A and B are shown apart, each in its own frame.
Chain A
Amino acid sequence: MAAYIARRIGQALLVIWLAYTLVFLAVQLLPNDPVTIFLSADAAADPATIAAMKAQYGYDQPLIVQYFSQLVGLFTGDFGYSLASGQPVGERIGAVVGSTLVLASSAFVTAVVFAVVLVASATLARKPWLKRVVLNLPPLFAAVPVFWLGLVLLQVLSIKLGIMSLFPDGSFASIAVPVLVLAIHVSAPIAQVLLKSVDNVHAQPFIDVLRAKGASPSWIFFRHTLKNAAAPAMTISGITVGTLLAGSVITETVFARSGLGQVVLQSVTAQDVALVQGLVLLTATAFVVVNLVVDLLYPLLDPRILKSGTHGAPRALVA
């Protein structure tokens, strides 16, 4: 077990390092250094100012020094300085990341619950027509764009019905509606994969044995099928982090919430390369961490995963 965890964590660190290197190289491929790009938004930048700013932010150092000092910074929480505000990038992101995290994680939990409820009702529905209706929901959810659903709900709920404020006011609706908009979109792929996976599990002989024991369909579904079918759905859930972050940016913009969405928008329009660099790394890290968690959860679901590694460990884990 320890070897499995160590290997996965090692892989995660490797991916973050590669992501950092890639971003660093991409910045070097830009026609100019970050400071020149940032200042070129103004009409005519003073060469002396450029040189001073470069020296201040360390962009005058040799590339190899920049690479390693930024890499060290990465592990000590120092992400450099935003060129636009002069604030440390870490602070700038830290100030708003909480709000986005609340939105994204609530949406994620809601999406998973959605997906499970959907799949359970499709599987356990007695009426064939109900089953067909439910089966068609995930493709519909996947097809509806987040911004469109958000705008329509905003239009109906606050402008037509007036039961929700146009701007976040701390009310339940002002949190629940954005969460719902995001969750619906994220739940679609999870539900689709889970459905397929449940079908595969139900085709296996052990399901017949369970029925022969006298287990009801819901007993089989909740006590056996779900655990067997969860792994592929979890893999997809890990991959939805990207959708979740992109969706958060859109949702925040539509619902005028503060959060990463605003920072992303501002940093890109202001050509604040240092800040963009920080945001990209944050996204990559979020991706890696979530997928690391997923990897570490697999053995809890299926004891066979550790079989090739250490023998006997899974028993202690699941007991």
Chain B
Amino acid sequence: MSTINAAPALLDIRGLSITYGHGDEAVVAAENIDLALKPGEIVALVGESGSGKSTLSKAIIGLLPESARILDGSIDLAGGNLLDMAAKELESIRGRRIGMVPQDPGASLDPVKTVGSQISEVFRLHPQGRKRSKAQLRAEVIRLLELVGIDTPEQRIGQYPHELSGGLKQRVLIAIAFALEPALLIADEPTSALDVTVQQTVLEVFTKLARELGTAVIFVTHDLAVATDIADRIVVMQHGRIREDRPVREILRAPEHPYTRMLLTEATASGDESRTADAARGIEVPAIEVAGLGKIFGSGKNERAAVEEVSFAVRPGTTFSLVGESGSGKSTTARMIMRLLEPTAGIVKIHGQDVTHVRGAAKRELWRSLQLVYQNPDSALDPRYSVSRIISEPLENYKVGSKAERRIRVAELLDAVNLPSRMAALGAKELSGGQRQRVAIARALALGAKTLVLDEALSALDVLTQAQILALLEDLQVSQGLSYLFISHDLHVVERISHDVGVMRQGRLVEVGAAAQVLNSPASEYTRLLLDSNPGALLREMATN
């Protein structure tokens, strides 16, 4: 590797190989990995899901699942091989010498313990020869909360995790990780579950602390944009192997491995300008039209307007994207359009027909032409059903065709979403995330829907799979004349697929217009903030030069 120089390594991994399972069933997750980190160095571990980046990071901190086996190699931390250590010895190293910032802040704190007790727990676990009194512990906790930029720490100490927002929870977890100033931190996709504006502030807090305290960081991410923003070095993994390991600027300027080039192309690709032009085709009946749409949850003093006065139209054959942070009301809007939720105000028109108050059989008819593709392909498909059964289920529900005709329709749909016909017999749980999302799209199209509502449909996928599904959506749009209402918090994806964009904040549509206009010269302050928070500043800079 090109970066090994005179400074003694803090972490030195040599020839590490890890498999899951036994014998013939064994899957290689990491193969012959060599990786070294100097003190204070921030390294981003990049790759798509299944590339082995999480396995590698879990191996370092000793949190591999029981099914994993380490076949070979060593992990030296400041001279001692972690793989040779007994459980007790490892426990004294974890939290003290190596810390971790987890992926999902929502589920990473004990829900039944106060925030304060979970931070002070680190000191109780590692007294390090100093017995701290209750008051001292409290002072330490307050200091840490202030360090990660949490205001009114005295109040926060007594709160439970459910009383904190996602961003605050991640700050608490960062405080826990930095509490004993470990030499090495493993951060596993620490901001992938957060909104883009929150993501930015959390990343700032995190990198600032790491730089100030001289902490070495292994930052696991599938987002090349985030990686380039914070890391000194990027390590690209694919199929359990390290493909490239070089400083950020070098790797951006001249990627050596074809896989790195592919990741970079996808991360910098932007929307096709011509699409916007040819899509503006005269006056046609909008695929979706909403006017003055509103939804109020609760009643009395708990009343809360989730959506207010939202009006927009999706032109037929185009993509309208609704962007905004979580809680901005975009999913509520989508569910009202789907008529899965009753609007409290306004009207919804689908293909010109007012469907605001349809119910019963008329509602079922609506769903023939309007379908939903949901966020998480893992839970949106019944894991015990076969692919063909999943796709033909709507046909059965609507009593369309004979058995043989349904079989033919399933084959057509699989073909349309570029899945081989042999997959029809597979179970949903045997598919990859991307394949599952293709099945979900095929199911949505089964009844001949012309308009799809895609609610964060790409968010759970890694960047390359995202690109493939995006290409599929674009192809289907052209070949079948589909209209999409695309809901996302990922501005990069939105930029690529949209003809029009609407920006939502606190239940209101703050800006709406052609994609190029909204994203290039935003009229509202908030859209500008969203765009500025979008990671990948360095990446964009390098791409334009």
Q: Which residues of A does B touch, CB under 8 Å?
A: 204-206, 208-216, 219, 224, 227-228, 301-304, 307, 314-315, 318-319
Contacts and interface: CB of A to CB of B under 8 A. Distances in A.
B176 A214 contact: no
A180 to B, nearest CB: 32
Range class of the B interface residue count? 35 or more
A209 B111 CA distance: 13
A206 B109 contact: yes
Contacts of A212: 61, 63, 94-95, 98-100, 102, 177, 186
28 contacts: A205-B108, A208-B63, A208-B100, A208-B108, A209-B102, A209-B108, A209-B109, A211-B62, A211-B63, A212-B63, A212-B95, A212-B98, A212-B100, A212-B102, A213-B122, A214-B96, A214-B126, A215-B95, A215-B125, A216-B88, A216-B91, A227-B112, A228-B111, A302-B112, A303-B112, A303-B160, A315-B158, A315-B160
Interface of B: 61-63, 87-88, 91-96, 98-100, 102-104, 107-114, 121-122, 125-126, 158-160, 162, 173, 176-177, 186
B61 A228 contact: no
Contacts of B112: 227-228, 301-303
Contact of A205 (B88, B91, B96, B102): B102
A319 B159 CA distance: 10
Contacts of B186: 212
Contacts of A318: 114
A302 B88 CA distance: 31
A228 B126 CA distance: 24
Contacts of B176: 209, 213
A105 to B, nearest CB: 27
Contacts of B114: 315, 318
A318 B121 CA distance: 17
Contact of B95 (A206, A214, A314): A214
Given A208-B102, A213-B121, A302 B111 contact: yes
A306 B70 CA distance: 45
Contact of B159 (A209, A227, A302, A315): A315
Contacts of B158: 315, 319
Mostly helix, strand, loop or mixed at chain A's interface? helix
B91 A214 contact: yes
Nearest to A215: B125
Contact of B110 (A211, A219, A224, A315): A224
Nearest to B97: A214
A219 B95 CA distance: 14
Given A208-B63, A214-B91, A303-B160, A228 B110 contact: yes
B344 to A, nearest CB: 21
A206 B159 CA distance: 17
A227 B100 CA distance: 24
Nearest to A220: B110
Contacts of A314: 160
A307 B163 CA distance: 9
A176 to B, nearest CB: 35
Contacts of A227: 112-113
Contacts of A209: 100, 102, 108-109, 173, 176
A201 to B, nearest CB: 9
B158 to A, nearest CB: 5
A192 to B, nearest CB: 22
A213 B95 contact: yes
A214 B125 contact: yes
A210 to B, nearest CB: 7
Nearest to A126: B87
| Closest 4 pairs between A and B when the two form their complex, measured CB to CB | A214-B95, A212-B100, A214-B94, A213-B95
A224 B109 CA distance: 10
A97 to B, nearest CB: 36
B91 A215 contact: yes
Contacts of B111: 206, 228, 302, 304
A227 B102 CA distance: 22
A312 B486 CA distance: 38
A303 B99 contact: no
A308 to B, nearest CB: 10
Contact of B107 (A205, A210, A216): A205
B125 A304 contact: no
A211 B96 CA distance: 12
Contacts of B162: 303-304, 307
B88 to A, nearest CB: 8
B304 to A, nearest CB: 14
Nearest to B103: A205
B93 A214 contact: yes
A303 B109 CA distance: 14
Given A213-B125, A304-B162, 8 more contacts: A205-B104, A206-B108, A209-B108, A211-B63, A213-B121, A213-B122, A216-B87, A303-B162
Contacts of B100: 208-209, 212
A301 B61 CA distance: 31
Contacts of A319: 158
A24 B100 CA distance: 63
A253 B542 CA distance: 86
Contacts of A211: 62-63, 94
